[in-house]
């Protein structure tokens, strides 16, 4: 069985604040990388125990270059580095049996450890009118290939967000949010056991879990933090600013078009200073 693992960082065991996740300024960043490698290895072990024969791990945080390759489980392959057309989900196609979203976090504007959606410039994203964070966006992307997201790991609140979209998903809770930058964290040994167990169960149940999908074409709407960002994002051909808002819409013909356009809009918007 083929398993695709997208591994973000904010929802990893032991990580509670930006010092663990910022490659340039994070005083705990090297520790965060070790925790990230720990979590993904536990998931790989659980997947192999349940029959996985091919595993691709997509490093999916910041510069996409965080997991320690030298410590990665030898039966997995690692996709690292940037740019990638489909960023966190690059490499996924219809030949995979299951997707695991590891180290994920809640969307912008709601409680959860280090909650946000993709970038500081994005307040909200919508696909066909449904608000989505990174979990929902990537789950729909996978679902349009017919591949179910079978496992999510992170804090207790991303588990709730995921269950609201995919009721049968397995959840591996490695910490319990007490604020946006604090949590009650499980020991690494306990989180390892939970990740292994839930990964095995997820792969065993992958045929029972329905892919999260929606109708084509895909209406992508992004709400930006201020109007200058929306103006810059609307440089992308066929995008439209909704009057008197910071929302920009685009109709995508498929999931690849949706992902690449989202990235283009976000990157253009990120070039605009706040003042």
Structural domain spans, the chain: 2-116+133-208, 218-271
Smallest CA-to-CA distance from 135 within 185, 109, 100, 178 is with 100
- Indicate the class that CATH gives domain 2-116+133-208: alpha beta
Return d(Cα 149, Cα 142) in angstroms, integer.
7
Contact 30, 42 (CB under 8 A): no
Residue 193 labelled as part of a binding site: no
Q: Which residues are catalytic?
A: 116
Token pair of 130, please? 């449904």
Mean pLDDT of the chain: 98
Q: What is the pTM of this model?
A: 0.97
Q: What is the CA radius of gyration of the chain?
A: 18
CATH H superfamily, domain 218-271: Dipeptide transport protein (3.30.1360.130)
Residue 168 labelled as part of a binding site: no
Return d(Cα 62, Cα 39) in angstroms, integer.
17
The DSSP call for residue 20 is G
Q: In the prediction, which pLDDT does 257 show?
A: 98
Smallest CA-to-CA distance from 123 within 219, 15, 214, 233 is with 233
Residue 10 labelled as part of a binding site: yes
Average pLDDT of adjacent 10-residue blocks, the chain of 275 residues:
99 98 95 99 99 98 97 98 96 98 98 98 98 98 98 99 98 99 99 99 97 97 98 98 98 98 98 81
In the numeric block, the tokens 């933090």 are attached to 225
Q: In the prediction, which pLDDT does 275 show?
A: 57
CATH topology agreement for domains 2-116+133-208 and 218-271: no
Residue 134 labelled as part of a binding site: yes
Return d(Cα 216, Cα 123) in angstroms, integer.
24
């Amino acid at each position: 069985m083929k398993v695709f693992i997208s591994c973000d960082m904010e929802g990893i065991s032991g990580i509670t604040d930006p010092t663990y996740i910022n490659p340039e300024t994070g005083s705990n960043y090297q520790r965060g990388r070790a925790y990230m490698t720990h979590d993904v290895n536990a998931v790989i072990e659980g997947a192999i125990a349940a029959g996985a024969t091919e595993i691709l791990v997509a490093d999916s945080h910041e510069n996409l270059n965080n997991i320690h390759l030298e410590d990665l489980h030898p039966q997995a392959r690692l996709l690292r580095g940037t740019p990638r057309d489909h960023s966190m989900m690059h490499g996924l196609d219809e030949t995979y049996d299951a997707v695991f979203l590891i180290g994920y976090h809640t969307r912008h504007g709601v409680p959860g450890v280090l909650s946000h959606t993709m970038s500081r410039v994005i307040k909200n994203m919508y696909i066909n009118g449904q608000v989505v964070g990174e979990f929902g966006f990537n789950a729909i992307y996978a679902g349009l290939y017919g591949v179910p997201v079978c496992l999510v790991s992170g804090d207790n609140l991303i588990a709730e967000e995921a269950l609201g979209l995919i009721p049968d998903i397995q959840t591996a809770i490695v910490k319990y949010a007490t604020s946006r930058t604090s949590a009650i964290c499980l020991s690494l040994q306990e989180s390892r056991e939970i990740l292994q167990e839930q990964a095995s169960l997820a792969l065993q149940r992958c045929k029972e879990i329905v892919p999260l999908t929606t109708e084509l074409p895909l209406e992508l709407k992004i709400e930006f933090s201020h109007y200058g960002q929306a103006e810059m994002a609307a440089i992308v051909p066929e995008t439209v600013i909704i009057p008197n808002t910071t929302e920009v819409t685009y109709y995508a013909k498929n999931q690849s078009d949706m992902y690449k356009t989202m990235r283009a809009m976000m990157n253009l918007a990120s070039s605009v200073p706040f003042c």
